[in-house]
Structure 1
Amino acid sequence: MKKLVGLLAICIFLSTFSIAFAGGYTGGPIKAKLASEEIAGDFMTVWANNFADHMKKWSDGKIDIEVYPYGTLGATGDINELCQLGVVDFVFSDYAWISSFVPQAQVLTLNYLFPTEKVPQVLDWMIKNGEFMPLLEKSFNKNGLVPLSIMFEGWQWLSSKDQVKSLADMSGLKLRVMSSKLLVEGYRAYGASPTPMSYGEVYSGLQMGLIDAQVNPLFAIYSMKFYEVQNYLTQLKSEPFVGIPTVNQKFFKSLTKDAQAEMLKYWHDSIIPAGKWITARNASDRKKIEKAKPAIKFHTLDAAAVAQFKARAETVYPQYVKLGGEGAQQILDAFLRDVENSKKALNIK
């Protein structure tokens, strides 16, 4: 009898342990759709698939999230609207394209605000300790969306047919940028002629001469083959490219509290590991570009040129208050405080 009681106790313990290990999901089966802004194999789609795998494992197979890479459900602007409407449940987009629906997100387009080192660590600190993210979340909520995190995807690179070494070289440059009024104003302040264009149209735009240059992180320049029709890659040290995994608010509220918490935890805990992953990926893709096109030239602006660019960028900051919508000043102030406080916490000069 004692042996039977003992065996029952062990079984109960193991059963409880298994449930806890599986995450303790208390809800029913869920099928969801996640639309990614990037093609298969690139950052957003890779980490979206990691998220889907994690949630499936955590829920013991009950939460099934299907990931749709770029182009399968529409262009960059389309997928954000689909998420807002609830046609898809999640979207992994960037700070510029989603600003058509949440104009406050344009604060992340302002150049020369982030330090040039430890950006994932800064974002991690801001998400977990700062004032900015709760305010941005309110703006998303008012538009039927919930931001789950902010993810670093590397620094933006300017690719061009002619070399850019100074502010003077930007004059009249026909430059493709993502769709954001503030982003357009930012590059216009440098003297360029910026034009928003869908991601899938950039290569042909460069090839046909509709645009002379474009801005994207290095992995995108490699995977979308933009380097094939460009001669120079320039690092302005101005703009980290960040993605915002987002969920439809109505769908999110329909989930159990434990599922909501696990989704947020996954994305928050992924900021630094994903930052390491993309840093290695970008370094690898640079080598691939150099091998595929040995004639291409990489250049980083020197301190004097950066100072010129930064001075122009600062003239755009006040425009965020006009273009950022309700609460923009409060969001900008919180963002600036968070960056400075994170730098102090992380010992960044």
Structure 2
Amino acid sequence: MDMQKGFKLKQLAGVSALALFACGAAQADTWRYAHEEYEGDVQDVFAHKFKEYIEDNSAHQLQIYRFGELGESDDIMEQTQAGILNFVNQSPGFTGALIPEAQIFFIPYLMPTDMKDVVSFFRESDAINEKFPKLYAEKGLKLLKMYPEGEFVVTLDEPITTPEELKNKKVRVMTNPLLSETYSAFGATPTPLPWGEVYGALQTNMIQGQENPIFWIESGGLYEVSPNLIFTGHGWFTTAMMANQDFYNGLSDQDKQLVQKASDYAFEQTIEHIDGLAERALEKITSSSDEVTVTRLNEEQIAAFRARAPQVEAKFIEMTGERGQELLNTFKEDLEKVTN
């Protein structure tokens, strides 16, 4: 049996086992939670802090599934909507196909780059804490927490400093129409790929680049096959933790409060974890490879990329209509409060 077939069988077996419990999910003492990352990565830290609080403050247990154990991002979302999973952590990069307004995080240069401002925004934003939960609820999901993971960093087959240098370069994007628009605006050729195919596609030059937070570039070994790191300052990777709505609604008031408090606890613990994480990850990368280059765009160079952002914003409004415009207005008002 080759490794790929073995992985598929293991994945199917895991899903089948979970399905046996789907009918009684709301009453189960063992809750099931899947996320998109590897052991020790940011989503894994959040999941384990959530688990810690749940198990320290109740008789419930939490089973965590990491990337690949139950499939890719789309798979675990489908399993959550079906009630097979109780909780899921998925970034708007994938949720954007389900909830178009979630793509707002991929409008370049909308988010600040200063971590203090970013964290304040997630804590205080009406867009995050009032509007997004209603949008997720329409899709059968109870949004429990949105949180930042790290600044986007682009990796390429060579260093670049201008949009013109991105011409004809295939850059992997998540399956997200607005992210494709962003890289088209930047001058590249956006190429949607599931995460499991990215390393091999970079290695074989099927694609020439991708974007991710620096900790994920280190954790996934992407720098080994895409060694030129470019800090463009165009945004932060955001993710969201949610529950199956029917499962959540079926909980007792005490358990609902428990879940909310566990989400708040995991958020605060994760914010502590990401403080300095990017610097530590970059140090690991540069000490592991002599081929890595690090390019930090200056303000003049950033201005050339920023000038292309309005067309992405216009595309967002075209895709989401009046609701998207209203959300964008609130988003900007919230950001102005924390950055001024």
- With the shorter chain as reference, the TM-score category is 0.7 to 0.9
Is the aligned partner of 1:133 residue 2:129? yes
State the 4+ residue runs in structure 1 displaced beyond 6 angstroms: none
1:82 to 75, 79, 82: 79
Partner in structure 1 of residue 67 of structure 2: 70
Out of 202-211 and 316-325, give the one that drifted further.
316-325
Q: Cα distance 1:28–1:73, how it changes in 2: closer, same or farther (>3 A)?
A: closer
Q: Cα distance 1:229–1:131, how it changes in 2: closer, same or farther (>3 A)?
A: closer
Larger CA Rg, structure 1 vs 2 = 1
The 5-angstrom pairing of residues 169-318 of structure 1 reads 169-318=165-314
Alignment partners' CA distance in 1, 2:308 and 2:264: 33
Q: Deviations over 1:20-49 (max 9, x none)?
A: xxxxxxx97622111110011111012101
Give the deviation of 1:95 after TM superposition: 1.4
Alignment partners' CA distance in 2, 1:267 and 1:221: 26
Alignment partners' CA distance in 1, 2:127 and 2:153: 29
SS at match of 1:101: coil
Alignment partners' CA distance in 2, 1:317 and 1:220: 27
Partner in structure 2 of residue 143 of structure 1: 139
- Are the aligned partners of 1:132 and 1:338 in contact in 2 as well (CA < 8 Å)? no
Q: Deviations over 1:262-291 (max 9, x none)?
A: 322333354454233123232222111111
Alignment partners' CA distance in 1, 2:314 and 2:243: 30
Partner in structure 2 of residue 12 of structure 1: none
Give the deviation of 1:326 after TM superposition: 7.0
Partner in structure 2 of residue 98 of structure 1: 95
* Overall identity of the aligned pairs, in %: 28
Q: Deviations over 1:39-72 (max 9, x none)?
A: 111110121011012111111xx22111000000
- Are the aligned partners of 1:120 and 1:271 in contact in 2 as well (CA < 8 Å)? no
Alignment partners' CA distance in 1, 2:257 and 2:317: 32
Partner in structure 1 of residue 105 of structure 2: 108
Q: Which amino acid aligns with 2:121?
A: V
SS at match of 1:34: strand
SS at match of 1:324: helix
Alignment partners' CA distance in 2, 1:83 and 1:29: 15
Q: Cα distance 1:53–1:326, how it changes in 2: closer, same or farther (>3 A)?
A: farther
- Are the aligned partners of 1:161 and 1:213 in contact in 2 as well (CA < 8 Å)? yes
Out of 237-246 and 93-102, give the one that drifted further.
93-102
Q: Cα distance 1:201–1:221, how it changes in 2: closer, same or farther (>3 A)?
A: same
Partner in structure 2 of residue 42 of structure 1: 41
Unaligned runs of 5+ in 2: 1-25
Q: Cα distance 1:198–1:131, how it changes in 2: closer, same or farther (>3 A)?
A: closer
SS at match of 1:287: helix
The 5-angstrom pairing of residues 49-64 of structure 1 reads 49-59=48-58, 62-64=59-61
Normalised by the length of structure 2, the TM-score is 0.88
- Are the aligned partners of 1:124 and 1:268 in contact in 2 as well (CA < 8 Å)? no
Q: Cα distance 1:91–1:325, how it changes in 2: closer, same or farther (>3 A)?
A: farther
Give the deviation of 1:122 after TM superposition: 2.1
Q: Which amino acid aligns with 1:208?
A: T
SS at match of 2:104: helix
Give the deviation of 1:142 after TM superposition: 0.6
Give the deviation of 1:187 after TM superposition: 1.0
Out of 263-272 and 173-182, give the one that drifted further.
263-272
Q: Which amino acid aligns with 1:322?
A: E
Unaligned runs of 5+ in 1: 1-26, 345-349
SS at match of 2:256: helix
Alignment partners' CA distance in 1, 2:30 and 2:36: 20
- Are the aligned partners of 2:186 and 2:305 in contact in 1 as well (CA < 8 Å)? yes
Give the deviation of 1:131 after TM superposition: 4.4
Q: Cα distance 1:252–1:325, how it changes in 2: closer, same or farther (>3 A)?
A: farther
SS at match of 1:262: helix
- Are the aligned partners of 1:75 and 1:198 in contact in 2 as well (CA < 8 Å)? yes
Give the deviation of 1:100 after TM superposition: 1.8
Q: Which amino acid aligns with 2:185?
A: A
